[in-house]
Structure 1
Amino acid sequence: MGNNIQAPRGTYDVLPDQSAKWQEIEAKIIELCRLYQYKEIRTPIFEHTELFQRGVGDTTDIVTKEMYTFKDRGDRSLTLRPEGTASVVRSFVENKLFGLPDQPVKLFYTGPMFRYERPQAGRMRQFVQFGVEAIGSKDPAIDAEVISLAMELYASLGLKRLRLVINSLGDTESRIAHKEALVAHFAPRINEFCNDCQTRLEKNPLRILDCKVDRDHPLMATAPSLADYLNEESQAYFTEVKGYIEELGIDYVVDPNLVRGLDYYNHTAFEIMSDAEGFGAITTLCGGGRYNGLVEDLGGPEAPGIGFAMSIERLLLALQMEEVEIGSSDALGVYVIAMDESAKKQAFRIVKDLRANGISADMDYTGRKLKAQMKSADRKGAEYVIVIGETELANGKAALKEMATGGQQEVLFADIAAEIKNKKSLEE
């Protein structure tokens, strides 16, 4: 490593030329959640390991292979959160949000998650997720609302190549019937499968269908489909969900093989894919579904929930693939140039005054000559430039130059902010 300490593998820095994009996405998220009445919840970055073992599931890849788990000084096992739902549900139970008069409780979160996996495009060890959870309703309409919020975020940022894929995982009864059929199907030849699948057979045979190692095994193609084991109630629920999605005018595809990678899902499961050229193998932008037993599993009363999580990194990748430009709204308002040391204090005062009036302003702090300062104003994309020298100091006025048109006018130092505000209001 030498003397250069670098960021750990699978992590990265968001540099200033990129952070404006993140801020635009975050602002869109906050605005959209306000329209849909989802309120923000912020949970700890680390939790007791047991939360994820119980909440995400012992047999999932996340829990068995991907968690950052460590002992603290009190010998407690803690884990950096690998996903958001378990933490939100823990908080929902611990803070008795099920007792609030208005149900469902509609929450959103955004923040870093951690998984120890092989870094690749759009997949990092520390990544940022935006997610929503609506807990306390088993109305099919809320399933459609949650799906539409995700679709709307992508659309509002300018993405067009989107595909919504949905499936029903059924209720407990349907899943047990399907599980038995899967065990009967795979058991006779399970020794041909990988060790993970052999373990999954008893614990959670549905996970075999998700296996990356054995995906080409002939038994995979002929495995019993969950769709054939949905009881009447599950079928009726799924039909209603589809009806509400159609009501919103959203196109979708039903994929009977769609299973989500976490143990807590039932009924509605969905993914939003990017069909953009050059995206690579993993095209999923967002995934979610219903988890009717999770609140009880974590010690709460019966409170059915539905949610989704999306990776912001994958969203940025999709924007890049579709060549959508975002995050260019932080241009500089005014660059104030001081010709010499005596003018610098006045320039400094003007900069302060402009900022106090909500106008972004900057000046030179390296003692450069006029020409170099003009270049700097240009690079920063300044809308206006003010040059202050001896004459300006004597008159108490400066030339306000509009960079786009080249037009300029004389303005008293005290009136500069008001004049710029006036121009902006005329433009609007």
Structure 2
Amino acid sequence: MMIKRPKGTQDLSGRQLSRIQKVEETIRIIMNDYRFNEVRTPVFESYDLFSRGVGNGTDVVSKEMYDFNDKGDRHLALRPEGTASVVRAYIENKWFGPEFPNPFKAYYIGPMFRYERPQAGRMRQFHQLGCEVFGAVDPSVDVEVISLAMDLFSELGLKQLKLLINSLGQPADRQAYREALINYLKPFEAELSSDSQRRYLENPLRVLDSKDTKDQEIVKNAPKMIDFLSEGSRKHFDRVIELLELFEVPFEIDHQLVRGLDYYQDTVFEIVTNSKEFGANTTICGGGRYDGLVESLGGPSTPGIGFAAGMERLMMLLDIEAVDLNEVEPLDVYIASLGEEAEETVLKLMNQLRHLGYSVDRDYLGRKLRTQFKQAERQQAQVVVTIGSEEVEKQEAVFKGQKTKKELSIHLDDLDESFDALFNQLTLDSSVIDEYFKA
């Protein structure tokens, strides 16, 4: 019987993987522009990290997390999200020390794991992009993180997006609001969905972001968190709004926006898509401030803020919006060969060109020249070289630019760093070359 991949996972190759790699390349460029450094953490951690960091009352920990005891009877879990792991690494490696930049700005791209019902854009092994900033409480940092997310999606070519923001205040504000919300929901308890009935007392804020239409109707007139903010939190949120307006970042205040994890406080935000294929206001990215999380996990009192985006859902949206990522990298040189006597010459030429920094491919199946030329065309080869017995004997071959149709006869012993100029002659229009030398 054939062994199949686990439910909720996927195998990637070809164009699908090329598009993901192109997105990751763009992410790394934008992150570098904002001076965020990549960090990598283990895919499994102590169970307690997530139960304490994410919250025992959350669905992530109580229902969705993959946890197990290893051979040393240690209780471990596959990471269901990235922030808690990065916080643990920040504390353990003392990235708050004077030898590290402050604020400390980090990002990650990697696999996460949740036991959910697999569906489009939601897998049991999924991949997440995230960024975190530690050490700065200024509202301008909130806006920088939000702007980074918006810039990233804009650079990728997405258009049908909307930014939603809210404030959850400080823990004391949240507690006062929690009690008010419970009192409001109590008369509706029997009418709530089964999930919201379960959350109603243990985590009532999650009722606000229920996807059940009847729940949504009930919470329309619920108390607003903004009315329970302390003076400091209200001042912080007002400044965030001022700066978003200053930078001309469109947004909407969503009083029902709470996020699903316990560690959030003050600014929270989501970037949603209005794409009809996804349904109204489907979340693409979400995040917020978590000033107490580092301290709660054993570190020094340190403010923090960040966001995360699911890569699978992001890739779906790019496909839906038909975004051209130019993910096919053209091949520099394709070597078409004829006859066994050309084998060693071809291998030597490939090695020379690769050492000069060029991508090179050839035929390995002894196919006819016509088939090899078609293969070169499929790979968008910029230069094609044909080598047969005559070229082997003379140690000379014709290099042809596929677009320009220019040809140069080159002695194979003369290939060195000057090939850069020859390659440009073969692949660039004369006007481009003239402009280059004028410059």
Shorter-chain TM-score: what band? over 0.9
Contact 1:130 1:310 in 2 (8 A): yes
Structure 1: 5+ residue stretches without partners: none
Query: Post-superposition shift, 1:196?
Result: 4.3
TM-score computed with the length of structure 2 as normaliser: 0.91
Contact 1:56 1:63 in 2 (8 A): yes
TM-score computed with the length of structure 1 as normaliser: 0.94
Contact 1:277 1:321 in 2 (8 A): no
Structure 2: 5+ residue stretches without partners: 433-439
Contact 1:22 1:327 in 2 (8 A): no
Provide the residue aligned with 1:349 in structure 2.
348
Provide the residue aligned with 1:405 in structure 2.
404
Contact 2:274 2:281 in 1 (8 A): no
Provide the residue aligned with 1:262 in structure 2.
261
Q: Secondary structure at the match of 1:224?
A: coil
The superposition leaves residues 147-176 of structure 1 with CA deviations (integer Å, 9 ceiling, x where unpaired) of 111111111112222211111111223212
Provide the residue aligned with 1:129 in structure 2.
128
Distance 1:408 1:424 in 2: 10
Distance 1:215 1:137 in 2: 40
Provide the residue aligned with 2:218 in structure 1.
219
Distance 1:21 1:302 in 2: 40
Query: Post-superposition shift, 1:189?
Result: 4.3
Aligned-pair identity (%): 46
Q: Secondary structure at the match of 2:353?
A: helix
The superposition leaves residues 372-397 of structure 1 with CA deviations (integer Å, 9 ceiling, x where unpaired) of 22222222221111111222122221
Provide the residue aligned with 2:104 in structure 1.
105
Contact 2:192 2:215 in 1 (8 A): no
Distance 2:210 2:276 in 1: 26
Within-5 A mapping of 1:163-312: 163-194=162-193, 196-213=195-212, 215-216=214-215, 219-280=218-279, 283-312=282-311
Which of 67, 72, 75 aligns to 1:74? It is 72
One-letter amino acid matched to 2:91: V
Provide the residue aligned with 2:395 in structure 1.
396
Note the aligned Cα RMSD (angstroms).
2.0
Provide the residue aligned with 1:91 in structure 2.
89
The superposition leaves residues 244-274 of structure 1 with CA deviations (integer Å, 9 ceiling, x where unpaired) of 2223221111111111011111111111112
Contact 1:197 1:208 in 2 (8 A): yes
Q: Secondary structure at the match of 1:163?
A: strand
Q: Secondary structure at the match of 1:122?
A: coil
Distance 1:78 1:177 in 2: 35
Aligned residues: 426
Query: Post-superposition shift, 1:210?
Result: 2.7
Query: Post-superposition shift, 1:41?
Result: 1.4
Distance 1:213 1:251 in 2: 28
Provide the residue aligned with 2:25 in structure 1.
27
Contact 1:336 1:362 in 2 (8 A): yes
Q: 298-307 vs 376-385, which deviates more?
A: 376-385
Contact 2:290 2:305 in 1 (8 A): yes
Structure 1 residues 275 and 192: CA distance shift in structure 2, 3 A: closer
Query: Post-superposition shift, 1:354?
Result: 0.9
Q: 139-148 vs 178-187, which deviates more?
A: 178-187
Moved over 4 A (4+): 416-420, 423-426
Structure 1 residues 215 and 243: CA distance shift in structure 2, 3 A: same
Q: Secondary structure at the match of 2:132?
A: strand
Provide the residue aligned with 1:10 in structure 2.
8
Structure 1 residues 11 and 4: CA distance shift in structure 2, 3 A: same
